[in-house]
Amino acid sequence: MPLLADVPLTSVQRIDHAVDGRLAPVPVLSLDGDVHQRSGRGSHLIRILGLLHGETMADDLATLQETASAGAEVTFAADIVSALDLQQVVVTSFRASAEAGRPGEVAYELHHTADLRGIDG
């Protein structure tokens, strides 16, 4: 079960992981093609879609909203990143929505980022 800060994300619908190497194409005068130049340290990009429900829904929602607003590094654990030794992330985006006819349930979308350690810019 994924864990973000102190919130167990019990009803995750989807987790996506991508790596952004921050490579920018640079044209070479008088030659075909481009070279690629690193433009800073790369990042792990993580997106989580899930549901909050049950007795702790309101408290979990408040914690996730506060975590996203703070912009600080928080602990993160999930199977999809276990091989990466990734333990700290920054929540870069958070969205929550409630639908009519589904009381006691809030859908959410979280976006996290974490530095790629060892890749110099």
pLDDT tens, 3-24?
Answer: 898 888 989 999 998 887 767 7
pLDDT in tens, 69-117: 998 899 888 887 777 777 889 999 999 999 999 889 999 999 988 876 5
- The per-residue pLDDT for 117 is 56
| Distance from C-alpha of 114 to C-alpha of 47, rounded to nearest angstrom | 12
First-to-final CA distance of the chain: 34
Q: Which residue has 């009519």 as its token pair?
A: 100
**Which structural domains are found in the chain, ordered by start?**
3-24+36-115 (2.40.30)
b/e map of 50-68 (b: 16 or more CB within 10 Å)?
A: bbbbeeeeeebbebbeebb
More confident residue, 42 or 15: 15
> Quick check: helix, strand or coil at residue 36?
strand
Largest CA distance in the chain: 66
